[in-house]
Amino acid sequence: MITLATKVTILRILLVPVCLSQLIYYAVGYADGAAKEWHRLLAFWVFVVASLSDAVDGFIARQFNQQSQLGRVLDPIADKMLLMTVIILLAINPGGAFPKLPLWFPILVVSRDVLLIAGALLIHIVVGEVKVKARIVSKVATLCQMVTLACVMLKMDPASIAWPLYAAGFFTAVSFIWYLFDGVKQFNTVVNLKT
């Protein structure tokens, strides 16, 4: 049986193409000089609902003891699908429809996640089990990334976008370093036990 918490996670996954399609419709209209603001605003509100659902599914899972293996697998997938696709689309910024994200931001966020996934796979292959602790710094990084993207979708001025953008960059880098140390420590512990 699928728990309510997992259903909320699945809803987040289903909202990703809705958000992306509205961003694309807006950008195409903008490039043609016929942008429909409701596409942009719908994308924004869908993104906000999807972002908030990340906290809601976790709360439901913990509060009502609905933690499941399926939820543990789907939740990070849903998070990455939402953030990565929106970050990449807004970084490409088709037709110049949105305030420009600096190139370092999508590179930092995407490469952090790719390297963490590669490291987790390596540990899984060598060690057999990957232990990932949720870190508050990672949650703050995700929140700052979401706020940055929401500000871009609202077409706020660059000064207003700067503070969540730089905070997102800082916390994303710190969380990567923290998870890197965790992974190296986990790897070394098992290697030392085997020798």
In this model, does residue 195 exceed pLDDT 70?
Answer: no
128-141 tens-digit pLDDT: 777 777 789 999 99
In this model, does residue 117 exceed pLDDT 90?
Answer: no
Burial label, 107 (beta-carbon count in 10 A; 0-12, 13-18, 19+): exposed
Burial label, 116 (beta-carbon count in 10 A; 0-12, 13-18, 19+): middle
How many C-beta atoms lie closer than 10 Å to residue 131's C-beta?
12
116, 177 Cβ separation under 8 angstroms: no
Q: Which of the four pLDDT bands, split at 50, 70 and 90, describes residue 127? A: confident
142, 33 Cβ separation under 8 angstroms: no
Helix (H) or strand (E) holding 58: helix 37-63
Residue 169 Rama label (left phi>0; alpha psi -120 to 50; beta): alpha
37-51 tens-digit pLDDT: 999 999 999 999 999
54, 79 Cβ separation under 8 angstroms: yes
Query: What's this model's pTM, rounded to 2 decimal places?
Result: 0.91
Predicted pLDDT at 193: 67
Burial label, 38 (beta-carbon count in 10 A; 0-12, 13-18, 19+): exposed
- Report the percentage of the chain scoring pLDDT > 90: 68
Q: Indicate the average pLDDT of the chain.
A: 91
**Domain range list for the chain:** 1-90, 99-195
Predicted pLDDT at 94: 84
